[in-house]
Amino acid sequence: MSLNLVFLGRLEDVAGSGKLSVPVLPCIDAVIDSLDPSLGQALKAPRVKLAVNGILVQDTDAPVLKDGDEIAFLPPVSGG
Amino acid sequence: MSLNLVFLGRLEDVAGSGKLSVPVLPCIDAVIDSLDPSLGQALKAPRVKLAVNGILVQDTDAPVLKDGDEIAFLPPVSGG
Amino acid sequence: MRRFSRTATRSPSCRRYRAAEAVGCERHSDVRLLTSPFAPAEEIASFARAKPESGGVVSFIGQVREGDGVEALELQHYEPLTLPAMEKLAVSVHRRWDLDGVLIVHRSGVMVPGDPIVLVAAAARHRRDAFAAADFAMDHLKSESWFWKREKRGGEWHWIEPREQDFDDIARWG
Amino acid sequence: MRRFSRTATRSPSCRRYRAAEAVGCERHSDVRLLTSPFAPAEEIASFARAKPESGGVVSFIGQVREGDGVEALELQHYEPLTLPAMEKLAVSVHRRWDLDGVLIVHRSGVMVPGDPIVLVAAAARHRRDAFAAADFAMDHLKSESWFWKREKRGGEWHWIEPREQDFDDIARWG
């Protein structure tokens, strides 16, 4: 029973890794709050976008998370 | 003692050849008048430009021609 | 460097994608996301050869610049988003201009100065369409693509923030 | 088909010309007038490789279109004017934008559908310069070059008159 977190760009450096497996929690806010506070703060920065299982979500979507879901944290892109 | 006439583009078809060697005459008008009238008319068309020895000339330049000079008749270009 | 694509459930990377098959309304798009080096000129040659009805082929090659003290460049992508967005871009380019074909090839991973990063090519009957399409595609790839970039200078990697110029470029298209 | 170039007293055709050497104020122009086929993609590859300081290389390949009933196309040039004008164009392109290099290769003679006619490439630190330079060079080559064109259709050759579109294109540059 776990969630796969993916950290892109500079968030990888903050997280210390590009991927992290965490226990399932029902919502994204709870997941973020369970992490190291400095990482949590970086993930909550206003321009960080979220994708759940490859679909971009708005804060208001508040998807219910389940085992095996992948949550990607996407800082502003730096372009191709 | 001759001049080399060069006909570009469709003027080649009118002249029947891309090049023609003619006796030296002192000015371009005299050269044109010495040619077949239908060719002469085509060469005098308003958009036909002239180059003498590779240098574009204006009508008013009226260069004095000498043995071996090359006179090129240049219709509007059709582009690259 | 790990590739997050391993975790993705969508299309595998590095494969040739024909938008026609997936989108159903556009033809002749070739969009690829590559994690290993490619030869842009060979791509251009085969692209142009495959479009004998096109009078003009405009292409843009982006390469890692030499001489700014950059030892290496890395582009990171996120598989579930990056390739689908490139495919969407190809479709919108096709819709906006009268084209015979669009080619978009983009690298991900670590590159060194001189390495090609991106190739965009557009084939059209009239060159104005081909120029505009390639220009538009590059502006949008640069400002909107799901790529994260970092540079290695003096042995240290630094993430690159978005450039304001990129947003100015994209604003040109209204 | 005769080549009038035989009668000219100026520069021989088909040679590589470096504007820098002749003009003294511009660098890295490569301008060629060819009377035999060439491989545009190979030219682009070596051009891009030679400009490692450039982030972007924009190129335009013009080829004889297939499918309009054109069996062959012939471009005639006049040696004393055609190449010098192409060289001048390269210089003015270099002056107008911030470029690392300009490449202009143009065919003369008889070509068949699919054959490359013209290649223009511009290398620049910033892609906006490279796009504009290649676009400008093509507009000017198309409307102002000393080339006369004829097409063979149904076994008959027909001279092509200037296109109004070409004059419109060039007017964009002010």
Domains of chain A: 2-74 (3.10.20.30)
Structural domains in chain C, CATH included, are: 28-171 (3.90.1170.40)
Report, as an integer, the average pLDDT of C20-38. Answer: 74
Q: Round to whole Å and give the CA distance between C85 and A56.
A: 12
Min Cα distance D88 → chain C (Å) is: 22
Report, as an integer, the average pLDDT of C81-95. Answer: 96
Residues A52, A32 contacting (CB under 8 angstroms)? no
Write down the residue that tokens 């708005």 correspond to: A58
Q: How high is the pLDDT of residue C76?
A: 96
Residues C144, C170 contacting (CB under 8 angstroms)? yes
Interchain contact D76–B (C-beta under 8 A): yes
Q: Do chains A and D touch (3 or more CB pairs under 8 A)?
A: no
Q: How high is the pLDDT of residue D143?
A: 84
Q: Do chains C and A touch (3 or more CB pairs under 8 A)?
A: yes
Q: Tell me the Ramachandran region of residue D99: left when phi exceeds 0, alpha when psi lies from -120 to 50, beta otherwise.
A: beta
| Cα-based angle C127, C129, C134 (whole degrees, multiple of 5) | 95
Q: What is the per-residue pLDDT across B59-70, written as a single tens digit (0 to 9) for each?
A: 656 788 999 999
| Partner residue facing B80 (CB), from D8, D147, D150 | D147
Q: How high is the pLDDT of residue A64?
A: 87
Interchain contact D160–B (C-beta under 8 A): yes
Quote the tokens at residue D4.
């009038």
Q: What is the per-residue pLDDT across A4-21, written as a single tens digit (0 to 9) for each?
A: 999 999 999 999 999 999
Burial class (CB in 10 A: 0-12, 13-18, 19+), C3: middle
Asked if the Cβ–Cβ distance from B6 to D145 is below 8 Å, we say no
Is residue D60 over pLDDT 60? yes
Q: Round to whole Å and give the CA distance between D21 and D29.
A: 10
Q: What is the per-residue pLDDT across C30-45, written as a single tens digit (0 to 9) for each?
A: 999 999 999 999 999 9
Q: How high is the pLDDT of residue D5?
A: 37
Chain B neighbors of D158, CB-CB under 8 A: none
Binned at pLDDT 50, 70 and 90, residue D4 comes out as very low
D 81-110 residues with CB < 8 A to B? 81, 106
Is residue B51 over pLDDT 80? yes
Quote the tokens at residue A5.
């977190």
Higher pLDDT, C129 or C27: C129
Report, as an integer, the average pLDDT of D41-66. Answer: 96
Is residue C24 over pLDDT 70? no
Asked if the Cβ–Cβ distance from C80 to A79 is below 8 Å, we say no
Chain D neighbors of C45, CB-CB under 8 A: 39-42
* Arithmetic mean of pLDDT over chain C: 85
Asked if the Cβ–Cβ distance from D134 to C135 is below 8 Å, we say no
| Partner residue facing D8 (CB), from B9, B54, B79 | B54
Q: pLDDT > 70: what percent of chain A?
A: 95
Asked if the Cβ–Cβ distance from D7 to B8 is below 8 Å, we say no
Asked if the Cβ–Cβ distance from C66 to D52 is below 8 Å, we say yes
Nearest Cα to Cα of residue C2 among A4, B12, D64, B28: A4
Q: How high is the pLDDT of residue C47?
A: 97
Sign of CA dihedral C147, C85, A72, A62: positive
Is residue C5 over pLDDT 70? no
> Which of helix, strand or coil describes residue A63?
coil
Asked if the Cβ–Cβ distance from D59 to C58 is below 8 Å, we say yes
| Partner residue facing D61 (CB), from C48, C60, C62 | C48
> Which of helix, strand or coil describes residue C106?
strand
Higher pLDDT, D99 or B46: D99
Q: What is the per-residue pLDDT across C107-137, written as a single tens digit (0 to 9) for each?
A: 999 999 999 999 999 999 999 999 999 999 9
| Partner residue facing A54 (CB), from C8, C62, C147 | C8
DSSP secondary structure letters along D10-46: SPPTT--EEHHHHHSS---EEEEEESS---HHHHHHH
Q: What is the per-residue pLDDT across A54-75, written as a single tens digit (0 to 9) for each?
A: 999 986 667 889 999 999 999 9
Asked if the Cβ–Cβ distance from C78 to A75 is below 8 Å, we say no
Q: Does ipTM exceed 0.95?
A: no
Asked if the Cβ–Cβ distance from D144 to B77 is below 8 Å, we say yes
Asked if the Cβ–Cβ distance from C128 to D66 is below 8 Å, we say no
Interchain contact A46–C (C-beta under 8 A): no
Min Cα distance A17 → chain C (Å) is: 9
Interchain contact D111–B (C-beta under 8 A): no
Q: How high is the pLDDT of residue C27?
A: 60
